[in-house]
Amino acid sequence: MEKIKVFLDTNVIFSAIYTNLQGSYPSLIIKLGIEGAFTLYISELVEIEIKKNVKRKIKEKEHLLNKTLNHFSKLSDVLIEFEEIKNLPIADKIILSTAIYNKIDFFITGNVKDFSNLYGKSILKTKILTPKDFLLKNW
């Protein structure tokens, strides 16, 4: 049986790294993924964004980020125009359409500003959730 596929948005990874993978929903998701409960995914764009943000805001945690990213499978970015995401900023549109195109089970984001109207909804196979909702509804 294939493991559940979980795609993490940049802000989820940043939150986990910021807290040293301790005591937060994003941290728990990454820990469960590392332990094999499901497969963790990011896209090339997420990797670029997270490395840039960590270097700029919490440079002292770059080593932890690089070690953590070794546990993610990386997907090539894809831009597909789905009606449900037409109003998202272009970077968010690319990241989410990459998850949808690759038949990811869950897209996890804490970006309330841009994704709040999509929380709890599915686009094709991909369900969009906050880190907290993902854990409370699935684990």
CATH code of the domain containing 106: 3.40.50.1010
User: pLDDT of 4-18, one tens digit each?
Assistant: 999 999 999 999 999
The whole-model pTM stands at 0.97
Alpha-carbon distance 95 to 97, whole Å? 6
Confidence of residue 108 (pLDDT cuts 50, 70, 90): very high
Question: What are the backbone dihedrals phi and psi of residue 111, each rounded to the nearest 5 degrees, phi first?
Answer: -80, 80
Residue 128 CB burial class (10 angstroms; 0-12, 13-18, ≥19): buried
Domain count of the fold of the chain: 1
pLDDT band at 73 (very low <50, low <70, confident <90, very high): very high
Using CB atoms within 10 A of its CB, is residue 60 exposed (0-12), middle (13-18) or buried (19+)? exposed
Domain range for 57 = 5-138
What residue type is 119 in one-letter code? Y
